[in-house]
Structures are given as structure tokens and as C-alpha cells.
């Protein structure tokens, strides 16, 4: 996820034009991660750590498929949402 702020703006400008609001799209990633952490934290009590890591890896792996067919604002937001969901599920928490 560290390379996402570096790679996404040139891709967005290339695909959607120079008037792209890539800062707004990039700011959705931490917000979505916080929302998904709030949703998935209670579920993490019932799942084993290996299951959580596997599910998180699955969501992070299928995230680029959102950009496969068409590069639109919706597909980039779906990509960020799936990546954020993968991040929030893949980090097991001990309570």
C-alpha cells in the first residue's frame, strides 16, 4: 500500500485526463480502512488468525480486477475499497 500514492496519480491522469481529482480518490483509502476496521473488528473475534490473513489476502488479490475491464472513477474507488477491506481483514487483532 506504500506505493499506491506514488503509482495511482499518473495512472489516473493517463486514463481519466489532467483534470482528475486524484487527491480526493487517494484520501478515500484511509477513510475506507477505518470504516472497514470498525465493521470487521467484531468479526475478528470469531475467526482464527490464519483465516483472517487468508481472507485479507484474497480481497487484496482481487482488488486489481476492478481495473481490468474499464478505468473509471467507480472502478478506482472499488479498487481502493477492496484493498482497504483486505487490509482491515488481514490484520488479526487480539482482544
Domain spans of the chain, in order of start: 27-90
pTM here? 0.85
Q: What digits encode the pLDDT tens for the residues 12-51? A: 888 888 888 888 888 888 899 889 988 888 888 888 888 9
Query: What is the 3-class SS of 24-89, one letter each residue?
Result: HHHHHHHHHHHHHHHHHHHHHCCCCHHHHHHHHHHHHHHHHHHHCCCCCHHHHHHHHHHHHHHHHH
Judged against a pLDDT cut of 70, whether residue 67 lies above it is answered with yes
Amino acid at each position: 500500500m506504500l506505493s499506491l500514492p506514488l503509482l495511482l496519480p499518473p495512472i489516473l491522469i493517463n486514463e481519466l485526463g489532467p483534470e482528475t481529482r486524484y487527491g480526493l480518490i487517494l484520501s478515500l483509502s484511509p477513510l475506507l480502512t477505518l470504516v472497514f476496521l470498525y465493521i470487521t473488528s467484531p468479526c475478528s473475534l470469531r475467526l482464527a488468525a490464519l483465516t483472517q490473513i487468508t481472507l485479507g489476502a484474497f480481497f487484496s488479490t482481487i482488488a486489481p480486477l476492478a481495473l481490468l475491464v474499464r478505468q473509471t472513477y467507480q472502478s478506482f474507488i472499488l479498487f481502493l475499497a477492496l484493498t482497504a477491506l483486505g487490509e482491515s481483514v488481514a490484520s488479526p487483532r487480539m482482544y
